[in-house]
Structure 1
Amino acid sequence: MTDPRPVHTHIWNGAPLPAWLDGHHHDDHGRPVIHTPDGEARPEDGWWLIGWSNGAATAASPWTGRHVYGPDGIAARLERAEAAIARVTELHPAADDWSWATFGCDHGGAHRQLCARCRTCHPCPTIRALHEEPTP
């Protein structure tokens, strides 16, 4: 996931706020006021408080919290998808086989190596699809 990314979550329920929110809130008659990049947020019970990798803090309604920041939310699914892309990319490295130069490339010499897994021009169709590169 591109930075900034969510790194902390806390569901406000009246309990003391976690330490990662220090410096990002003040108290207003027993209710937290979160200092966000968009201004002050006044979360209600059940609202999600989110800490970001760039040090920012934000708040989200219960529905948004579950569907975006929860374990099956968009942010978690994006992180899992990015991890899967990285795993597949590792399975398709350029081969350290310089005999490829003898056989050449069918794409006007656009490729210098072959894919170690597919034995086709590298980057292979799998890598190009994952990284949204045009097919030669």
Structure 2
Amino acid sequence: MKKGKVICFPTDTVYGLGTPLLDFDGIKRIYDIKGRNYDKPIAVLCSSMKQIEQFAVMNDEAKIIGKAFWPGALTLILPTKPSYYEKTGEKTIGVRIPNHLTALKIIKKLGPMKTTSMNQSGE
């Protein structure tokens, strides 16, 4: 996927706009497309807990909850790893593993995706 690009794809809950986790141009584009305030964080969709552990800290409790509810519509707010915080300034991050085959295929291929619903912010 080219830097700064955004894709639309189905998830288990909505159609989403997504871009790779650290594609800051793509993330800005999502905010611009949606008319979203920059103080509202965008969650990350992953294909596995192993992907989540690349950038977030999953304690034992989070792992138990994740195993019970993922794949599915549960979003966990987790502390970020120092390496991710240094790149983004985000101390916490919302993560989930969708229960949708197409979404999972995309995420497995492209890696964790910053993703939000297609609707305009506030609608």
Same fold (TM over 0.5): no
The structure whose RCO (Cα within 8 Å, separation 6+) is larger is 2
The structure with the greater share of residues assigned to helix is: 2
The TM-score, its normalising length taken from structure 2, stands at: 0.28
